[in-house]
Copies of this chain bind each other. A is one copy, B any other.
Amino acid sequence: MATEILELPHPARSDLRLTDVLFALSDPERLAIVRQLAGGPLEMAQCHLSDPSIPKSTKSHLMKVLREAGIIRNEPFGRGRRLSLRQHDLDARFPGLIDSVLSACDGDAAKGASRAGSPAGKP
């Protein structure tokens, strides 16, 4: 048994590329994932997409792009996987970038502002 190859490849901090990071963040769905992860690690199953009917292969691909850009970490966790933001690596490599992205209000302000969870932002 010992088929322990379940760890997927993650770029080293020094290999992170600004353009790849920006590209990965430039998709609304991926950005939404990153926002969820900003609150702390999450099991993949608890990380929801905007449209719940999106197939898991697509979800997996979104995570792959984020992982390969070095934005998130994806590690085995029990029966599933745990996702986490690579905040520390990103901050070290691109200071202030993630913070500014996370604190930026998104484009479509056309929805009800029923959001209350502002993390350490400004009042």
Contacts and interface: CB of A to CB of B under 8 A. Distances in A.
User: What is the total number of copies of this protein in its complex?
Assistant: 2
A81 interface: no
A51 to B, nearest CB: 16
Nearest to A100: B96
Interface string A86-106: 000100011111011101111
Nearest to A7: B122
A120 B89 contact: yes
Interface of A: 10, 12-20, 22-23, 25-28, 31, 73, 75, 89, 93-97, 99-101, 103-110, 113, 119-122
Contacts of A106: 17-19
